[in-house]
Structure 1
C-alpha cells in the first residue's frame, strides 16, 4: 500500500496534525482527545519526557524544566538580538553552544542536560508522529510541515533535519499563510478570479505572537506590583511560570470579557494574596505597538501586491491571536469596515492546509484530490555583483518558485585560477545599496587568456524556499556549491516596500550609475587585455603601457562622482591605443559599450 501523507502544523505555541482522506480533511486528536497539542516539553527531575498540555501543568513544579516556544530559537545565533531581548521572559536557561547556536539546559537525574532547538523540535515531532500513527492505525513516514513565511534557509533546514531525526520524510515545507488560504479555498466555492487576503496572527507569524502579548501583560503586572506593593525582588522561575500562565489566561478571557482577574498568591512579602483587575482597555493600550506593527506589515503587503483594498473580496483570519477584539477591529477598519471572514478554525486551519498539500503530493488512492495551483514568489530580485559593483539580476522579483537561473562569468586576468561572486537581494543597480547574502568562490580553474575561461554561476530556489548557489567551470568537472542564508520571507513587508520605494525614487541615479559602471568596466577589461597582447606579441609601447597600467589601477577605486575622469580616460584610450590594437590584430579585446557618459 502507498504511504499516507499527513500535514503537520509545527507551531510556536501549539501544534496539530491533519490528514485528507476519502474526500474530507480530518484533524487528528492526541492521546487526551484534543485537536491541538501545546508545543511544550517538560523534563521531570527524576527522568523522562512529557509533551503537551500535561507538560504545561507539570512544569509548575519545576518551571526551569518546562521548555516552550522552541520555534523562536530555531536557526538563530545565540547573540541574535531577537533571542537576547526575550531571554528574561523564559524561566529555563539558554546559553551559547557550538558555533554560537543556542542550547537549552536543565537538570534531570542529578545531571545537567543540554538540548538544541533542533533536538527539541524532534521530540515534539516524534510525539505528533505517534499520535498520527495511533489514529490512522498504520505507520506514517511522509509529511508536509508548515513554517512561517519569514523562515530563512537555516531555519528551514533545521526543521527538515528535525523531521528526518523523528522518522519523517518531508515532501514539502509549506508557508503557514499559504496553508491557511488553501484550507479556506477548499471549504468554499471560490471563483477563479477571487482575491483573498490571509491575516495570520498566531504564535510567531509576524515574528511576534501570542506570548509577546502575554509579556505585555506580565510587564504591566510587575509594574503594578512595584508601584502599589513595593515589590523589588527579581521574579524567580517558579513565580514567572505561574504568572505567565495567569497572563495567558487573562488574555484569552479578554477576548470575550471586558476585564479579567489575576490572582497572585504568596509572591509578595506581607501580601499573601493579591488580586489585580486587568481591563481590556489597559491590555489594548499596553499591546498597542504590537497591534500596530501587524497592521503596518499588512499595509505594506497590500501596497506591494499592487492590488487595491477594494479588490480584496475576503479577509481571512488565522491564528489564535485573531480572536482579540481590538485586532479584529483594526483589521476591519483598515479595509474600510469590511466584515472579516472567521469561517476557518484559527488554530486548525494551517494543519488542514498542510493536509491538503500532502494529499496533492500523495499517490495513495484514498488521498485523491483535485489539484490546485499554489504559487510562492521571490519578494525581491536576487543577483550577483559585477566587476564595477553593478547588480546583475539573475532571478527577478515575483518569479514563481521553484526557479533556477544562471549567469556566465569569464576570467578578468590571464592565468586566473579563482573567481568569486557576491550574492545580493534588492532592486538597486549599485549592489552596495542592496542586501548582501553571501559569497561563492570556485578555485582550481583552468588557466586561460583573459575573458576566455567561462564559469556558470547558478541560483536555485527550491519549493521549500532554500537558495543554493552553484559555480561550474564549463567543459570541466570543477563544481562548487553553497547554500545561502537567504530568507524568502524574513524581510518584513515594510523592508520590502522600502526597498522598492528606494528603487523607484532613484531611477535616474541608478541609470547614471549603470552607464558609469559599464564604461568603467569596459575600460578595465580593455586595459587588461591590451597589456596581455603587448606581452604576448612582444610589442614595445612603453608610454602606452604605463598609461594602461596606471589607468587600470585608478579605475578600480573610481566612483560615479568621478565620471569626468573616466570620460577623459575613455577619450585618451581612443586616441592613444585603438590604432595600435587594430594594427597588430589584438586578440580578445572587449566590445565597445553602447552607453555614454553625459
Structure 2
C-alpha cells in the first residue's frame, strides 16, 4: 500500500478536476475559489503565471497571452490539418517548433517565451495538485489521469510527461469511458453487460460502447465529433444574440473580439441556467460602444437554435452501435457524462432512442470521470479493493509477452502494461552445429520459468542452412495492435526462411479470477524467480565457456601447439561439466565454483601455449574473444584472453 493517497485527474478541454478516495468514499476537491471544476486555462502576465479561474477571468483583457484548448494541441503535429483550423480561430499565437511540435508564443514578464502543450498541461496538473495538497494537508506524488478513448499512444505518453513536470508519478492513463463505467461500479457486477457511455463535454462528443465482463472493460466501438460540445452550443447563442443586438442598436458587435468574449461568457451562464429553469436572462454591461445589453432566453429557444446539433449528437449513437455490431436492445446500461449532457432536450433524445431506458446520471455529470479516476488510483495504491486490471483492457498489455530461452527461462519481449499499439523484438540463434530447425515458443506471464507462464503459440523455422552453433541469427518480431491482435514473425535473413502467426488476445483466454491469481503469484514469487533467473544466467555462462573451450581446441594453429595431455584434460573437464549441468539441484555457489575451476584449468593450458608459441596464443585470443551465443538469447561475449 502506498504511503500517501493517490488522486484522480480529469483533464478536460474546457475544465479539469481532481478527486481522492478516502474514508471509503470519493471526494471531488474544490479549488481555492470554491469551485470543483478548474478551467483548463493558463495565462501569462507582466508579473505572474495564472492557471484556472484566475487565468479565465482575465481572458477579455489579455487574450493573446491566455491559453485554452490545450487538449486539442497535445500530441499533435503543428502541420496537422485539423490543428491548423483551430489555430485560425485562437486569439493566441501558435507556431511550429522542433520536430513540427506546436508551440505557443506568449509575452511573460515583459519577455518573449515559447511553451509546448506538455509544459502547459503540466502547469494545469500542478495547479490541481496544489488544490489536492491544500485539502489533504499532505504531499501528493501519485495520480491516475483520465483521457478520451481516442487519445493515441503519443498523446498518452505526453500526459505522463506532463505529470512528471508536476512532480507526479502517473500510475496509469485511463480511458474516460472506463472511468465513467467504474464510477458506477459496473466492473464489480458479476453478470456480463454492454454499456454505452454518452459523453458531451465542453468541446467534444464521445460515444463509447463497452463490454464489461469479469471485472474488466473492453471498448467495442467509438464514435463522436471532436468539435461538438458545450462551446459549440454557446457559439450558436452568441451568433443569434449578436444579430439581435445589431437589429436593435444598428451596431455590429461581432467585429469586436472583446465584446464577443463577454457575450460568450453571458451565453454560457444562461445555457447552464436553462438546464434547471425554463428561462434565463443575459446581462452584459457596456457590451459594445458603451451600450448595455439585456436579453431573455427560453429553453425552447435554446432547443430551436441547437436542435440540429443535438440530433447529430444522438446520431453518433447509431454509428457506435453499428460499428459494435449491436442492436440498441443489447445495451444494458446508458451512462451520461459531461456537463452538456445535462441539457434536458439531449437527455430526452437519448432516453427516447433507447425506448425509455433511464440513463445513469446520479453522479454529478461534470464529475463522473474524475470520480472513476480516483477509484482506480485507490485500487492501484491498495486503498480500495480491486485487481488493478479494471481499466487496462483497451489501454495496454495485461501481461508480459516473452519467448522461451535456454534453461527453460522466459525472456521478456514486450513488458506488462505496455501502452498499445506496441512492438518488441529479440534475436535467437542455434544451440548446436548444423541445426536445421529452430522452434520459438511465445508465452505470456510474469514468472521466470516457462512452465509457470501461459503458452501463446510457437514459430518453427526448418530447412535452415548448415552453420556452426550460434552463426545463424533469427530475428523475432512481436507486436500487439490497439485491438489486442498479436502478430509474431521469425525471419532468418541468409536463407529467407520465415514463419508467422497471429492471435487475438481476447478476454476469453482467462478464466474468472485467473489473471488476478497470475499477477498475485508473480508478486509472491518475485524473489525466488530472481534467484532462478540468476542461476540460469550463470548456467548459460558455464555452458558457453565449455563451448568456447571446445571451439578453441579445434583451432588448427592452437591444436598444433597444445600437448595431448592438456587437450585430453580439457576435453575431459568439459565433458564432466556438461554432464554435471544436467543435475536439477544446482545452486549458484556450485555453478560459480565449477566456472572458476574450469577457467583456471583453461588459463593454465593457455599460459603453457603462450610460453611455447605466442602466435598460436594470438590465434586463440581472437577465437576466444568472438561471440559465443546461447540458445534463444542474444549472442553473448566471451572473455578476451590477454597475455
1:98 aligns with 2:113: no
Partner of 2:336: 317
Question: Any idea what SS the aligned residue of 2:240 has?
Answer: helix
Q: How big is the shift at 1:172?
A: 0.9
Partner of 1:39: 40
In 2, are the aligned partners of 1:118 and 1:161 still within 8 Å (CA)? yes
Partners of 2:348 and 2:305 lie apart in 1 by 16
In 2, are the aligned partners of 1:28 and 1:132 still within 8 Å (CA)? yes
Residues 404, 74 of structure 1: alpha-carbon distance in 2 compared, 3 angstrom cutoff: closer
Deviations 1:231-282 (A, max 9, x none): 457634422321221121122122233444334444445x723334444344
Higher alpha-carbon deviation: 282-291 or 338-347: 282-291
Question: Any idea what SS the aligned residue of 1:316 has?
Answer: strand
Partners of 2:84 and 2:485 lie apart in 1 by 27
Residues 278, 17 of structure 1: alpha-carbon distance in 2 compared, 3 angstrom cutoff: same
Partner of 1:241: 261
Partners of 1:60 and 1:468 lie apart in 2 by 52
Partners of 1:82 and 1:312 lie apart in 2 by 33
Partner of 1:562: none
Partner of 1:358: 377
Map 1:31-430 onto structure 2 (within 5 A): 31-44=32-45, 46-87=46-87, 89-185=89-185, 190-203=189-202, 204-206=204-206, 207=226, 208-225=228-245, 229-232=249-252, 235-269=255-289, 272-363=291-382, 366-369=383-386, 373-374=390-391, 376-377=393-394
Residues 373, 268 of structure 1: alpha-carbon distance in 2 compared, 3 angstrom cutoff: closer
- Structure 1 unaligned runs (5+)? 380-399, 410-445, 477-598
Partners of 1:98 and 1:68 lie apart in 2 by 22
Q: How big is the shift at 1:403?
A: 7.9
Aligned CA RMSD, in angstroms, stands at 3.8
Q: How big is the shift at 1:362?
A: 1.2
Residues 194, 457 of structure 1: alpha-carbon distance in 2 compared, 3 angstrom cutoff: closer
- Structure 2 unaligned runs (5+)? 207-225, 397-417, 428-464, 495-643
Say how many residue pairs are matched. 409
In 2, are the aligned partners of 1:22 and 1:367 still within 8 Å (CA)? no
Deviations 1:498-556 (A, max 9, x none): xxxxxxxxxxxxxxxxxxxxxxxxxxxxxxxxxxxxxxxxxxxxxxxxxxxxxxxxxxx
In 2, are the aligned partners of 1:63 and 1:237 still within 8 Å (CA)? no
Q: How big is the shift at 1:289?
A: 3.8
Question: Any idea what SS the aligned residue of 2:28 has?
Answer: strand
Deviations 1:187-215 (A, max 9, x none): x9845234432211113343232222222
Q: Which runs of 4+ in 1 moved over 6 A?
A: 400-409, 465-476
Map 1:430-441 onto structure 2 (within 5 A): none
Partner of 1:5: 6
Deviations 1:400-426 (A, max 9, x none): 9868788999xxxxxxxxxxxxxxxxx
Q: How big is the shift at 1:96?
A: 3.3
Residues 378, 68 of structure 1: alpha-carbon distance in 2 compared, 3 angstrom cutoff: closer
In 2, are the aligned partners of 1:179 and 1:350 still within 8 Å (CA)? yes
Q: How big is the shift at 1:9?
A: 0.9
TM-score by length of 2: 0.56
Deviations 1:64-100 (A, max 9, x none): 3322221122122334333333345433333333333
Partners of 2:473 and 2:304 lie apart in 1 by 64
Q: How big is the shift at 1:123?
A: 0.4
Partners of 2:322 and 2:137 lie apart in 1 by 48
Q: Which has the higher contact order (CA 8 A, sep 6+)?
A: 1
Residues 10, 404 of structure 1: alpha-carbon distance in 2 compared, 3 angstrom cutoff: closer
Map 1:517-532 onto structure 2 (within 5 A): none
Partners of 1:173 and 1:183 lie apart in 2 by 16
In 2, are the aligned partners of 1:91 and 1:240 still within 8 Å (CA)? no
In 2, are the aligned partners of 1:143 and 1:358 still within 8 Å (CA)? yes
